Amino acid sequence: MKRVFIFIAALTFTATVFAGGFVTNTNQSARFLRNPARTASTEIDAIYSNPAGLSFMKETFVISVNNQMAFQTRTIKSTFEPFKLNGGKDTKEYKGTAQSFFIPSVQIAYKIKENWVISGGFSIMGGGGTLEFKDGLPMFEAAVAGGLAKLNGALYNPALPPLLQYNGKPMTYSLNMNLKGTSITYGAQLGLNYKVMNMISFFVGARACFVQNGYKGYLNNVLITDVDSAKKQLNYVGVALEAGMPDVSKMYKGAALQLTGLQNLNLNLNTQQKGWGITPILGADFNYKNLNIGVRYEFNTKITLKNKTKSGGDAGMDAYKDGVKTRYDIPGMFSAGVSYKFLKEKLIASVGCHVFLDKFAKMPDDKQKYLKHNSYEILMGLEYVINERFLVSAGAQVTRLGIGNGAKLKEVAQADGTKTQVDGFQSNVAFSCNSFSIGLGGACNIIKNLTLNLSYFYTGYDKYTNNNPGYAGKEIYNRTSHTVGIGLDYKF
């Protein structure tokens, strides 16, 4: 009966709490949070957003230390008729929460000579939090609810002779569920700049990415009303039909065993996944007077995760057996941006874009095959220098993912031999939504060489309706996200 959790084999439970693509964090500093259009930056945060732009920073040696605190919720509103067997309602809401108080990054850049810059940094390139659904997920409860609904149907089968009809009440159920996932990708970057003609700069570098995911969950204490009398009735029907209808008799006896399996269901998942990969990075920047244009390309990062499983590798959870390997690539990325200084360089306007090459990356369960197109982001922002001590900035980001109507559906085999079509990319264990973000904040020169950055970043999400979640129902996904950042830059 543990095979009711066959869908768990495709589980990829992530807790991404940052801006960016499906597995990529693009906000790597407090500066980004107050103005996400950093793709043409020539300041210290350009180490990530526009590394070639470091050639045009004014300082010789800069260290930036940042921390971000992120708070996120994910909700799934699921509609499935058999849910009525647990509380009487066919629509239920499941809520997951993620809180991260320590999301650090360190960035360092040093001009070796006028035309050469060496830079490096450490940051959280993906994930960064723990996401917990305290009441489990609908896909797990749907397996129990759907199974019990079928057994109720067998008990009240109108085709049975009147003497074999069940006189008791329909069985109902209750259960305990919980699922917690932690996902984090550490990144350590090193690179070198070279400037030519005082206007053009090139960058070459690489980032080592270390992924560590962890999953813990359980489903137990399944309580079914009138279960003993129902099992006796199913067996009774099976025995009564044995002579004249052996196939139907076998089905009813099997139904009694299935009911015993549901009653004794006790699943636990406790596993960790680890892996690493290298991201080659190239960049170029053009700077002339008040105009700056930056581009960068990050190659696809091939990563293979290996399971270290304490429990949860039994039937229906084959993907989490100890030692199993899973591809978990970080998609390649192209970014471009333009900034221009107005009002004697007191006002800086910037625009940019990110394109994530998701369809060319290898994702768990080959999910990339079910995307309509690659993800992309449009960014814009303004920064105004009030005086030598203070500046303020604000910006916005629009994120569009290759999900939704028109995406290819996936064909999945069911336990009874039939096939059904499901959303090949989205599921209630790993879903993403299109979004719109705004950031604002400011900076203060505390002393001559020390700058404090403070910022806030809010993301609102479009609801996503999954009409093909893998069972005869539908799910509506939604998210919220708030991030606060603080950073200190020291200039030598």
pLDDT in tens, 376-402: 999 999 999 999 999 999 999 999 999
Q: Which two tokens stand for residue 114?
A: 């006028």
In a domain, 222, yes or no: no
Q: Are 187 and 330 in contact (CB under 8 A)?
A: no
User: What pLDDT shows up at residue 19?
Assistant: 64
Q: Which residues, 6 or more positions from 221, have their beta carbon under 8 angstroms from its beta carbon?
A: 174, 175, 176
Q: Are 365 and 10 in contact (CB under 8 A)?
A: yes
- Please measure the distance between the N-terminal and C-terminal CA atoms of the chain and give it in whole angstroms: 66
pLDDT at site 480? 95
Per-residue confidence (pLDDT) for residue 406, from 0 to 100: 77
How does DSSP classify residue 31? H
Q: In this structure, is residue 53 part of a structural domain?
A: yes
- Does residue 319 contact residue 338 with C-beta atoms inside 8 Å? no
SS3 for 240-270 is HCCCCCHHHHHHHHHHHHHHHHHHCCCEEEE
**Residue 142, in any domain of the structure:** no
Secondary structure tally for the chain: helices H, strands E: 5, 19
> Which residues 6+ apart lie within 8 Å of 396 measured at CB?
36, 379, 380, 381, 436, 437, 438, 439
Question: 31 and 62 in contact (C-beta within 8 Å)?
Answer: no
Asked if residue 421 belongs to a domain, the reply is yes
Which pLDDT belongs to residue 18? 55
Structure pTM? Answer: 0.90
Tokens of 42: 């020539």
Domain harbouring 478, CATH code: 2.40.160.60
Judging by DSSP bridges, how do beta strands 173-196 and 304-311 pair with one another?
unpaired
Domain count, the chain: 1
Q: Which of 47, 75, 14, 50 is nearest to 339 (CA)?
A: 50
Give the DSSP per-residue string, 168-182: SPPP-EEEEEEEEEE
Give the range of the structural domain holding residue 82, as residue numbers without chain letter: 8-136+183-214+272-491
Is residue 167 in some structural domain? no
Q: Is residue 161 part of a domain?
A: no
Q: Where are the beta strands (DSSP E) in 358-463?
A: 375-385, 390-400, 409-413, 419-423, 435-447, 450-461
What is the distance between the alpha carbons of residues 72 and 258, in angstroms, rounded to a whole number? 39
Q: Residue 25 falls within a domain, yes or no? A: yes
Residue 352 lies in a domain: yes
pLDDT score of 405: 79
> Which segments of 448-473 are extended strands (E)?
450-461, 464-466
Strand spans (E) along 114-169: 116-133
pLDDT lower than 50: segments of the chain: 1-12, 15, 17
Task: Kindly state the tokens that stand for 390.
Answer: 């203070």
What is the distance between the alpha carbons of residues 301 and 420, in angstroms, rounded to a whole number?
33
Name the DSSP letter for residue 89.
Answer: -
Q: What does the alpha-carbon distance between residue 102 and residue 68 come to, in Å, rounded to a whole number?
A: 6
